[in-house]
Chain A
């Protein structure tokens, strides 16, 4: 069984924000929410690195551990999803997540936040049939059900962002590191999967 993972190759990311835009467009993400974002460290100085970050679909997901209504679940592919019908918008997942993945829409009065939103690895959610109108409205498109990988990685112009079966992602990355000589910098893997490439 595949274990889906994200990996952003910081030697290749050029901070074009194509992944952010692709994600927003594909899933019609609510206003104010970005399921993916690019962070540039040491911006403008030698050693600058950009990294695209979203939900990493952690092995021992902190969001799932602190959810009062236990609305998070991990699919057979290792994708961490949440059930918006159960979510009460308390924001605990937002406190716990190291990557800032779950976010509140923050649209309503008096700080009422509505249901949390987060990256689904383009795998939709539990409601309705795959790619039904209900699922699309709540979670966005379900590309995984169509046999496709997440759009952010699929359309990454420099192939910095890799998504897919963890072993294959690791193999591709290891080959790159061998060719260009250097050391692997599997950003976020230790935090999310408790392992390195």
Chain B
């Protein structure tokens, strides 16, 4: 009996103890388990902090991504209205306000100084022997093409450079109102004449392609640096080595200018800003390169080479000039029996034939 009772009370105590433990466990569990969340976040935070400050804020990453031109939805209709931030504009600003403006100025002004120094130290090439006999070099169509494109180019260069440098060079002179009045005229002039210039340039380059294919004797011309420094006369056909380089600069530069200009001229076709930024930089650089080349061309066609300009004015050059600068071309003209265009004098007509 006793043992039975003892066993019963013992069993009861055990049950109570087990029950107590269970209650304690449940209570502890229910209190501690929710705290695990804190433990977890604390661990994650500790991890993030050790990984480095900003990564602790996932939103910071989000906004940083927005700076890379992330697109979203917008009810506003228009090109790129769904782009929150386009950061490329800042790069464009740095390039345009930096190298394009400053290096461009150094290049163009540098060329002018170089040509001036050359003129004052060496002087241009003199026409050594004027024969008085004339050779037809530029037919009427070529001359019209040349001056049409040249005049348009000069207007475009002046108006274009005004937009690039006007803020630094012209606003101090004309004042903001004065310059804006000029610029508001210069911009449409530049825009509209560009179309006519592009046609002239294309026709001219196509027509003169045949003169500008590099030949073996051009190597000799470059070796003697065109004879500018030592006064020698390297061999040259219709166009000499330098003129051929100039031609190909016009082909590459001209194409770049015309194509990039088109992009900027028609923003209404829905080009994106990045396309117009690129176009602006390409337009600026290629224009500055071509302007620099044109400066050298203008000098060599006038002061730099006596007797050259008359070829582009009257169409005919002196035979002496042709012999001095384009010997191979002169030989070819004579071989073809192409009697040099007469200036009306009988001697002019007969002399090459007897030579």
- Chain A residues in the interface with B (C-beta under 8 A): 17, 20, 32, 34, 37-43, 47, 49, 51, 53, 62, 65-71, 85-92, 94-100, 103-104, 106, 110-113, 183, 185, 187-188, 191
Q: Mark contacts of B82-101 with chain A using CB atoms, 8 A cut-off: 1 yes-contact digit, 0 otherwise.
A: 11111101101100110000
- Chain B residues in the interface with A (C-beta under 8 A): 57, 59-60, 62-63, 66-67, 70, 72-76, 78, 80-87, 89-90, 92-93, 96-97, 162-164, 166-167, 171, 176-177, 179-180, 183-184, 187-188, 191-192, 264-269, 273, 276-277, 280
Measured between beta carbons, the chain A residues less than 8 angstroms from B75 are 17, 20, 37-38
Interchain CB contact under 8 A, B184 and A88: yes
Interchain CB contact under 8 A, B84 and A62: no
Interchain CB contact under 8 A, B276 and A88: no
Partner of B86, one of A40, A90, A100: A100
Interchain CB contact under 8 A, B89 and A62: yes
With A34-B76, A100-B83: A62-B273 Cβ-Cβ less than 8 Å: no
Partner of A37, one of B70, B74, B273: B74
Measured between beta carbons, the chain B residues less than 8 angstroms from A65 are 93, 97
With A66-B96, A88-B183: A38-B89 Cβ-Cβ less than 8 Å: no
Interchain CB contact under 8 A, A41 and B84: yes
Q: Other than the known A67-B167, A68-B183, A69-B166, what 9 A-B pairs have Cβ atoms closer than 8 Å? A: A37-B75, A40-B72, A43-B73, A47-B62, A69-B167, A69-B171, A94-B267, A104-B267, A113-B268
Q: List 16 A-B contacts (CB under 8 A).
A: A38-B76, A40-B73, A41-B66, A62-B89, A66-B96, A69-B167, A69-B171, A87-B180, A90-B163, A100-B83, A103-B78, A106-B268, A183-B57, A187-B63, A188-B85, A191-B85
Interchain CB contact under 8 A, A88 and B180: yes
With A40-B73, A40-B74: A66-B180 Cβ-Cβ less than 8 Å: no
Interchain CB contact under 8 A, B267 and A41: no
Measured between beta carbons, the chain B residues less than 8 angstroms from A38 are 74-76
The CA-CA distance from A162 to B317 in the complex, in Å, is: 75
With A68-B163, A68-B164: A85-B180 Cβ-Cβ less than 8 Å: yes
Measured between beta carbons, the chain A residues less than 8 angstroms from B59 are 183, 185
Interchain CB contact under 8 A, B90 and A98: yes
With A183-B57, A185-B59: A20-B76 Cβ-Cβ less than 8 Å: yes
Partner of B85, one of A32, A99, A111: A99
Most buried by B among A41, A89, A183: A41
Interchain CB contact under 8 A, A111 and B167: no
The CA-CA distance from A94 to B93 in the complex, in Å, is: 11
Interchain CB contact under 8 A, B176 and A86: yes
Partner of A98, one of B85, B164, B176: B85
Interchain CB contact under 8 A, A113 and B267: yes
Most buried by B among A68, A95, A113: A95
Interchain CB contact under 8 A, B164 and A69: no
Distance from A52 Cβ to chain B, minimum over Cβ atoms (Å): 10
Interchain CB contact under 8 A, A70 and B176: yes
Interchain CB contact under 8 A, B176 and A185: no
